[in-house]
Amino acid sequence: MSTDARARLAAIAIVAETPPAPSVGADSGNVPLLLGEIRHALERLLATGAVHAIDLRAIPLGPGEEDRLLEALGTGELCATFDALGRSELQECRYPGVWRITHWNAADELIGRFIEVTFAPALLASNREDIRDGLERLSAELSG
């Protein structure tokens, strides 16, 4: 490279820019919107029996907003935990009919968190085949 080319390269101003750090208190504004959605879902549940689910992993929440939402929903009386390819916890919120459902994989990594508005989460319901099998076993035990 010639001396002249080096001099021209050296004359180019180089400015290093770093993107601004995300604001620690960044708020998407979604917490009050989600609480309003839950309120409307409770109204529909009572009026029509319609259930509603919110996938918290699919909503852009700012730092700490999921915790603020869960704190606002609080903890109710009922909780169920089961293990099927990882742990799942179904926790009623302080508002009956609102459930926080959390799933972890076998390595205990959080893989899903939902809010369900329903009388009882479908995960707790027995399926028809299991009920039929149970009925057959009970009938066999009673007749034998």
Q: Is residue 139 part of a domain?
A: yes
The pLDDT of residue 38: 98
Domain count, the chain: 1
pLDDT in tens, 11-59: 665 555 544 444 445 688 999 999 999 999 999 999 999 999 999 999 9
Cα–Cα distance between 92 and 101 in angstroms, integer?
9
Here the CATH number for the domain that contains residue 108 is 3.30.1370.140
3-class secondary structure per residue, 53-121: EEEHHHCCCCCCHHHHHHHHHCCCCCEEEEECCCEEEEEECCCCCEEEEEEECCCCCEEEEEEEECCCC
Q: Is residue 9 part of a domain?
A: no
What percentage of the chain carries pLDDT values higher than 90?
74
Q: Is residue 14 part of a domain?
A: no
